[in-house]
Structure formats: structure tokens, C-alpha cells
Structure 1
Amino acid sequence: MTRVIVYSAALVAFIAATAMTFASIFIPDWITYTTTTAPSTPSSPSHTFTKVIGLHRSCESEHGCAHFPTVEDCSGTDRYFCSMWRSVGFLMSFAAVLELVTLVAYLVVINGGKQKREAGWKVLSFLLVLVGVVQCASMAIVAYLFDNDDRFFVGWQLDKSFILVTVSWSIAILSAGFISLSAFVFPEEGDYELIPPSENEMYR
């Protein structure tokens, strides 16, 4: 029963991590730029311009959303940025597939009987670490582009999707460590602890 509780708790946390991953893929909010211009006259309101960039589209407050990277982003000297950004999209999609596979593995291990629960931690830990590594690589590429690409000047900032991915891969890695630790700390299912002999029995 102890292992079932451990796996179930890790599964709940991983479901939340998977939801964060899918949200980061579909919500175009990895990097955001916001600027506010002063009013032209004292009576006119100030104007705020916002642009957000996601893995597959970008949105502006004035012109709506469009596919990203654009054709211009993938030509000339910008080909490097385009290739790197598309690599992030591929890695995140790959991570999402791995997470679905991991969810199936969780269900198989939890419902597969005592033997699968005792040995399943190895498979689950491997999948969780793999998910974490792929997502961490995606996050690292975005952070590198944010710090080094000229298009991201002062005013741009990493936003919600970047944070969601960071939390997601952190949960995956922590879950892998927790499951691996539980395999060595908790007793096997169905086992009983030996009762130490009493003093009278020791001196018989």
C-alpha cells in the first residue's frame, strides 16, 4: 500500500506538470515586450503596446496573432534564430509525447500488481528524468536566445510559458528522485517487520 501511495502522489504532481507543458506549447507567452507611450496631449490617454512570442505564433495588441517564426525570420542572417526556435518547438512537442507515455507507465505500474510496483520505479524514474532533460534543454535554448539575440532588447522579458516549463521539468526531476528514494527507504509490500525478542527469550 505504501508504494501505491507514493506512485499516486507522484502521478498527481506529474499530471499537473503535463498540463503546464501543454499550456506552454499552446499559449503564445514565452517572451513578452510591453511599452507605454506618453499621451500626445494632456487630455489624451497613454498608449500601451504589447507583443508576445510563443513557440508557433506571436501576437500584438494592435495587429492580432500571426505564425512565428515568419518567413523573414528564417532567411538571411536570421536563419540561426529560426532554426533554434523551431528546435525548441520540436523539443517541447517531444517532451509532451514523453509525458503522455509516462502517464501510461504510471497507470500500468500502479495497477500492475506487486511485482510491477516494486520494479516499476526504474522505468518511471528514467522517463521522468528524460522528460526533465528535454524540457530543460528547451528552456535553456530560449534563455540563450533571449540573452544573445539582438531582437530582444531592453523591455523584453521571459514570461508565463517559460515559467510553466521551468516548474514542469522541476516536478519531473523531483518526482524521479522521490520515487527512486522510496524504492530503497520503504519496505516491500506484504512484508512484516521482525519483532525483536524479549529479554527472557534472549537468555533462554
Structure 2
Amino acid sequence: MDFHLVPRSEDRNYTGFLTKTIVYTSTLIIFLASFGLTVSSIVVPKWISYHNEQVWYSYGLHRRCSSVTDSCQSFPLRDDCSGRGRYFCSMWRSVAFLMSFAVVLEGMSIVAYLIILSGGKRLRESGWKVLSLLIILSVAVQASSMSIVAYLYDHEERFFVGWKLDESWIYCIVSWCVGLFCAACLIVAGRVLPSEGGYELIPDHS
């Protein structure tokens, strides 16, 4: 009598065939885009900018650029952190630190993704808990950074009429929104999707 493998009955009834592996793989691809946006928000020096017909200025986390000098320079400098600028300097450096920390958390999340996908069924069944926590932490850090910059934009005297929150700030928003979406998908999949089934031997009577 010959035997052949067939999916267990509970697997045959799950017509959607939406396994946790598919969820992990698809959200990883989306999360990589979020990671790229986070890095771009740090590299591109356009968190807050000013433009008119003659000149433009822009503030990045680590550089300040101007059409007057036609170049970018490190920011904040020591002169920027003296006197009344001390508070702004401290807050701006905090944002730079938080965004760098967010990159670290996202990097750890990517490593966790790869470990889970290369591991066995047990990792795929329980790994979403640690992974979603790492992503949520990175989301919280980026949202805090975004909020601090928005607060400085509204309350700092150096940003008068004509200044605006620019593309790097938008990159940050999109990044943490995408990350939050990925975390939500992982949590829902971990709680709702059935366990990955195996196969069972049944006799072949032919």
C-alpha cells in the first residue's frame, strides 16, 4: 500500500492560504521602504526651510544650507548653542539623537525579520511579538522627533513667516506611519491567522 502527503483537513479548509510567512515577507518589503525614508530624513538637510525669490535656507539634523554661501555647513555649531540659542540647540541635538536611535531600532527589526523568516515554525508563530515591539518603539521615537521639530517650528523665534516644515519632516511622518502599518499587520496576523499546518500520510488505495 502506497502513501502520499496531503494537507491536514484544517489547512484544506483555509482557502485563503494566507500564511504567516507571506505576512512576514510582504511587511518586510514595505518596512524596508520605511527604513529608507528614515535614513533619507537624516541625510537630506530639509527639515525646516525658507524660500523666496532671492534666497533660500534649510535646516537638516546635522547640516544647515544656504543659497547665500551656496554650501552647507555642520549644524549646530558651538556659536549656535550659546545664549538664547542653547535651548534650541539642545532640542535639535535631541532630535538628531532620536532619529539615529530610530535607525538602530529599525536595523534591529530588519535583523529580527531575517531571523524569523530563516527560522522554523516556532519562530514564525511567536516572533511577531518581539518584532512588532521593536517596530512600535521605532515608531514612537520617530513620532517624538517629528513632534519636537514641529514644536520648535511653532515656537522658535528664528522661524518667522515664510519658513515651512519641509520634505525631511514629511519623510519622517511617512516612515513611522508605514512602520505602524507593518506592526499592525504583524499583530493581527499573529493573533488571527491559524497556526501553520503540516502534512499527514494517507493510504493510496489505487
TM-score tier, shorter chain, comes to 0.7 to 0.9
For 1:6, the equivalent position in structure 2 comes to 23
| Whole-Å separation in 1 of the counterparts to 2:95 and 2:190 | 34
Residue 62 of structure 1: how far off its partner (Å): 2.5
Aligned length: 181
Residue 109 of structure 1: how far off its partner (Å): 0.7
For 1:166, the equivalent position in structure 2 comes to 173
Could you state the TM-score of these two structures normalised by the residue count of structure 1? 0.86
Report the 3-state secondary structure (helix = DSSP H, G, I; strand = E; otherwise coil) of the residue aligned with 1:59.
Answer: strand
| Whole-Å separation in 2 of the counterparts to 1:171 and 1:120 | 20
For 1:118, the equivalent position in structure 2 comes to 125
One-letter amino acid of the counterpart of residue 63, structure 2? R
Matches within 5 A, 1:23-172: 23-36=40-53, 48-63=54-69, 64-172=71-179
For 1:198, the equivalent position in structure 2 comes to none
One-letter amino acid of the counterpart of residue 55, structure 2? F
Q: Percent identity?
A: 51
Provide, for residues 171-190 of structure 1, a one-character-per-residue CA deviation record: whole Å limited to 9, x for no partner.
11111111101112211101
Report the 3-state secondary structure (helix = DSSP H, G, I; strand = E; otherwise coil) of the residue aligned with 1:76.
Answer: coil
| Whole-Å separation in 2 of the counterparts to 1:91 and 1:129 | 14
Residue 160 of structure 1: how far off its partner (Å): 0.6
| Whole-Å separation in 2 of the counterparts to 1:92 and 1:184 | 30
- Is 77-86 or 169-178 further displaced after alignment? 169-178
1:185 aligned to which of 188, 192, 202: 192
One-letter amino acid of the counterpart of residue 28, structure 2? L
Residue 191 of structure 1: how far off its partner (Å): 5.8
One-letter amino acid of the counterpart of residue 8, structure 1? T
For 1:21, the equivalent position in structure 2 comes to 38
| Whole-Å separation in 2 of the counterparts to 1:70 and 1:120 | 43
- Stretches of structure 2 lacking an aligned partner (at least 5 in a row): 1-17, 200-206
Residue 110 of structure 1: how far off its partner (Å): 1.0
| Whole-Å separation in 1 of the counterparts to 2:24 and 2:31 | 10
| Whole-Å separation in 1 of the counterparts to 2:154 and 2:41 | 20
